[in-house]
Structure 1
Amino acid sequence: MIKRIYLLLLALAPQIANADPLTKYQHLPTDVADMPFFDTEAQAQQRTDEYNSAIDAINDALDTCEEALCETLTQHQADLEYAIDDHQEKNGASITSWLGGPAYTPEVGLMVAAGGLFSFSTNREQQALQRSSVSLFAVGTQGDAGFGYGIRSKQNLFFDHNNTRFTGALTFSDDAENYWGVGYDKGKAQDSSADTLMRNTSLTYDANLSFKNNYGFYFGPVLRLKYYQADKGSIPLAAEQDENFNAFKDRPLSIGLGITLNHDSRDVTVNAWQGQYFNVEYINYGSKIGSDNNYQKVLIDYRYYHSFNPGRVIAFYNALQWSDGEVPFYDMPTLGGSFSLRGLYAGRFRDNNAVEHTAEYRHTFLRDNGNLSAHGMTVWGGFGSVTSNLDTNSSSLYEDLLYSYGLGYRYELQPRMNVRIDVGFSADDSGFFLTFTEAF
């Protein structure tokens, strides 16, 4: 009798093994509302390991299961994969993600980028605290001027119930770019060619530290650092004939200190679905703090986000840049690149003042169960202009308009943190961009 029972259990073993992921791990919640907050990071990590074990067990079971059971297991596996992100976000767990691939931008041509995104909570006990993040990309490029390389990093850090914030952006490159000169007319005068291509070494670092006051506004100090040194052996004709370039080619360092004042009601800073952001910055560059140049800049930045259905967001970006004094060509207000009028060559149009208005629709696709998936798309359109002077009625600011439009794919690599792939177009250029976080 015992032998028969043993043989029966052996015969049923495959079925028991296939059903095991649905029974052994049925205690793992897939709805964020049912997920517990664990007292310690070790307990939270143990739950993460359980989710991963359940997913691995389902993978093994999918090799031998029948069609009906396979469909159930596949759906449950997808639920668990999404649940890991929700669990880690709720428990303030650290997450590291790696990404690499090719891209094309009008500034550097073909490039290969590889890097990572690290997100975490500075205090996991404060569950409403936004997740901090640090991204780092290494970039290799191959363009008309040969091989180039660079490093890009962004930092978004949140402390003390979101009352203290730090944002930083670092860019270093040894590469080539096209230089047309200062003003709209010079940017329109010719297409990129050997007459505009110039190799250079550049370093940019922008940092904002802000504190929330009792009136709901953030304020704090601002640091701006810009170093730009052109390769004197490859200065193109467009630069040789430009007065601003000749005035500042041997004054490569600009350092500025200033202040920011803003009001921020966005739900998530790096990928807002709802809320508004209004920011005013004033920066003064001077020799007293080590700058080669003396000038001042003002930024007025307003953004609006509205979600009219889950995963359906309309976003607006408006910015005015003003500068005055000995403003070097390499730190003038510009339009274009991966964060401003995408598809327009960054720096092709530069002047003392610039304005931009962009509208974007962001759509996140739904899963079969009706919840939001990790996949989405966007479409956008915008316009802007540059000018040397602002008159009282601002007519000169909108005299020569530049346009940009495009579409993009989004993948949620970490909770509310997307990989962004955009294809942008303009009358003069186009670009294919691969990076982390939204353009605005």
Structure 2
Amino acid sequence: MNFKPLYILLLLLIIVVKGHAQSELDTLYRPQFTAFPYPAYAQETSWEFGAVGIYQFKTANATFDTRPSNIYFIGFYTLENQMRFKLEHTLFTNHEDWVFEGSLEYSKYPEKYYGIGNNTPMENEQLMDWSKVEWRQQFLKKLSDKMFIGLQYRYVNFWDISVEKRADGTGSLEEIPGYKGGINSGLGLVYKWDKRDFVLAPTKGHFIEFRAESYGSWLGSDYSFSAFKLDMRKYFSLNKKKPYHTVVAFQGLLNQTYGDVPFRELSLMGGLVMMRGVYEGRFRDHHMMAFQGEVRQHLFWRIGATAFFSTAQVAPNWNAFLFDQFKFAGGAGLRLLINKDDRATLRADYGMGPDGSSGLYLTFGEAF
């Protein structure tokens, strides 16, 4: 079943243009810069060593109804000879009339590749190596309170792609879609309804983002394909009396790709965000459906704990999704609050996935 018409209809139904009330300037907010070196761990990287910096601030003449903007940098090198340097930003203008959100990244990233499909065997494992530069920028205009629509441009360039043969001597680079590397250049429509109280670690509200992207030669792309993504999140703040504040969070994710889709642009299951405990890209295909829930509990001082559960499935088309083919993962973790005003956190999660897979994740920020 093709869900694109439903997405477009949903988008048109929920866009309602409203004005906004004038508010007093927020003269009490003080910018904060946090930076530190860190060790981290994930099953995709082994141990990594790097530095994190985040600057949280409000733009000029911002009012109380304007959420803090942030600029975030991370750079690391891992024991798997991977390196990544990434600069992200989320900027809210006064009254949040405009939002500018984007990232710039360089990566050299050896990783394991298992082929395409929801049930690829472990014996398919191959070590792949690639380098990339990626730039993504969104320009969003406010429609109503915390509701935005706009455009996104995304540019990705892959090169130096190589792959080792499997343990049995089979497998070649030519079997992998997009093995030649090259440029993915795409323009898309973005709809975002963001009622979260905090961007980095929400405690209440909701977040909905829909993206429809087109990649083609008319934009200088070496590959012609389209991608559709729907990300829905909901947060409930329970038991607000200190010191035992509880947050319950849910996320649903739908990914669709059509056309000549390179291996890294397919829907990837796993990683430190969704399906923790599953190696990122362990299962990949043109479409993915994923859900997760999490309970976040404050314990004492700046320490918190969390428990999470997720399920996902990838498929070549929507008709191929089967109820008994969903994968399951779950686990628990700890949190350290490093900025009480804007709730920036460090997290340590241990997740367990299907077939005895597991992963430890030490990183910055909540999973969603």
Q: TM-score under structure 1 normalisation?
A: 0.71
Whole-Å separation in 2 of the counterparts to 1:423 and 1:153? 26
Query: In 2, are the aligned partners of 1:251 and 1:293 still within 8 Å (CA)?
Result: no
Does 2:341 align with 1:412?
no
Q: CA deviation at 1:149?
A: 1.9
* Unaligned residue ranges in structure 1 (runs of 5+): 1-38, 40-88, 367-372
Which amino acid in the other structure matches residue 320 of structure 1? L
Query: In 2, are the aligned partners of 1:103 and 1:432 still within 8 Å (CA)?
Result: no
Q: CA deviation at 1:120?
A: 1.0
Query: In 1, are the aligned partners of 2:41 and 2:48 still within 8 Å (CA)?
Result: yes
User: Residue 13 of structure 2 corresponds to which residue in structure 1?
Assistant: none
User: Residue 16 of structure 2 corresponds to which residue in structure 1?
Assistant: none
SS at match of 2:96: coil
User: Residue 128 of structure 2 corresponds to which residue in structure 1?
Assistant: 198
Whole-Å separation in 2 of the counterparts to 1:386 and 1:419? 30
Which amino acid in the other structure matches residue 200 of structure 1? W
Matching residue within 99, 102, 110 for 2:39? 102
Whole-Å separation in 2 of the counterparts to 1:404 and 1:184? 15
Matching residue within 220, 228, 253 for 2:150? 220
Matches within 5 A, 1:90-169: 91-123=28-60, 125-143=62-80, 147-169=81-103
SS at match of 1:213: strand
Whole-Å separation in 2 of the counterparts to 1:262 and 1:174? 31
Q: CA deviation at 1:125?
A: 4.4
Give the direction of change, closer, same or farther, for the CA distance of 1:185–1:252 in structure 2 (3 Å limit).
farther
User: Residue 294 of structure 2 corresponds to which residue in structure 1?
Assistant: 360
Point out the structure with the larger strand share: 2
Matches within 5 A, 1:375-414: 375-391=303-319, 396=321, 398-414=323-339
Whole-Å separation in 1 of the counterparts to 2:180 and 2:38? 36
Whole-Å separation in 1 of the counterparts to 2:210 and 2:362? 29
User: Residue 272 of structure 1 corresponds to which residue in structure 2?
Assistant: 202
Whole-Å separation in 1 of the counterparts to 2:33 and 2:282? 36
- What root-mean-square deviation, in Å, do the aligned CA atoms of Structure 1 and Structure 2 show? 2.5
Whole-Å separation in 1 of the counterparts to 2:128 and 2:62? 51
User: Residue 18 of structure 2 corresponds to which residue in structure 1?
Assistant: none
Q: CA deviation at 1:412?
A: 1.8
Whole-Å separation in 2 of the counterparts to 1:161 and 1:203? 33
The one of the two structures with greater contact order (alpha-carbon pairs below 8 A, sep at least 6) is 2
Does 156-165 or 304-313 show the bigger shift?
156-165
Q: CA deviation at 1:241?
A: 4.4
Q: CA deviation at 1:275?
A: 1.2
Which amino acid in the other structure matches residue 165 of structure 2? P
Give the direction of change, closer, same or farther, for the CA distance of 1:409–1:239 in structure 2 (3 Å limit).
farther
Does 348-357 or 196-205 show the bigger shift?
196-205
SS at match of 2:218: helix
Query: In 2, are the aligned partners of 1:198 and 1:236 still within 8 Å (CA)?
Result: no
* Unaligned residue ranges in structure 2 (runs of 5+): 1-24
SS at match of 1:161: helix
Matches within 5 A, 1:170-319: 170-186=104-120, 188-190=121-123, 192=125, 196-214=126-144, 217-232=147-162, 234-237=163-166, 240-241=171-172, 245=176, 247-310=177-240, 311-319=245-253
Q: CA deviation at 1:214?
A: 4.3
SS at match of 2:283: coil
Query: In 1, are the aligned partners of 2:161 and 2:179 still within 8 Å (CA)?
Result: no
Q: CA deviation at 1:341?
A: 1.3
Q: CA deviation at 1:374?
A: 2.3
User: Residue 80 of structure 1 corresponds to which residue in structure 2?
Assistant: none
Point out the structure with the larger helix share: 1
Whole-Å separation in 1 of the counterparts to 2:145 and 2:52? 39
Does 2:345 align with 1:432?
no
Whole-Å separation in 2 of the counterparts to 1:236 and 1:210? 45
Whole-Å separation in 1 of the counterparts to 2:146 and 2:122? 47
Q: CA deviation at 1:382?
A: 0.4
Whole-Å separation in 1 of the counterparts to 2:155 and 2:253? 21
Give the share of equivalent positions with the same residue, in percent.
Answer: 26
User: Residue 374 of structure 1 corresponds to which residue in structure 2?
Assistant: 302
CA deviation profile, 1:127-165 (whole Å, cap 9, x unmatched): 23211111111111112xxx3322133322211212321
CA deviation profile, 1:308-332 (whole Å, cap 9, x unmatched): 2222110000010001011111211
User: Residue 267 of structure 2 corresponds to which residue in structure 1?
Assistant: 333
Query: In 2, are the aligned partners of 1:133 and 1:156 still within 8 Å (CA)?
Result: yes
Whole-Å separation in 2 of the counterparts to 1:335 and 1:202? 20
Q: CA deviation at 1:184?
A: 1.8
Which amino acid in the other structure matches residue 328 of structure 1? P
Q: CA deviation at 1:399?
A: 4.5
Query: In 1, are the aligned partners of 2:62 and 2:93 still within 8 Å (CA)?
Result: no
Aligned residues: 336
Which amino acid in the other structure matches residue 118 of structure 1? Y
Whole-Å separation in 2 of the counterparts to 1:125 and 1:214? 17
Query: In 2, are the aligned partners of 1:181 and 1:239 still within 8 Å (CA)?
Result: no
Whole-Å separation in 2 of the counterparts to 1:214 and 1:166? 16
Whole-Å separation in 1 of the counterparts to 2:213 and 2:277? 28
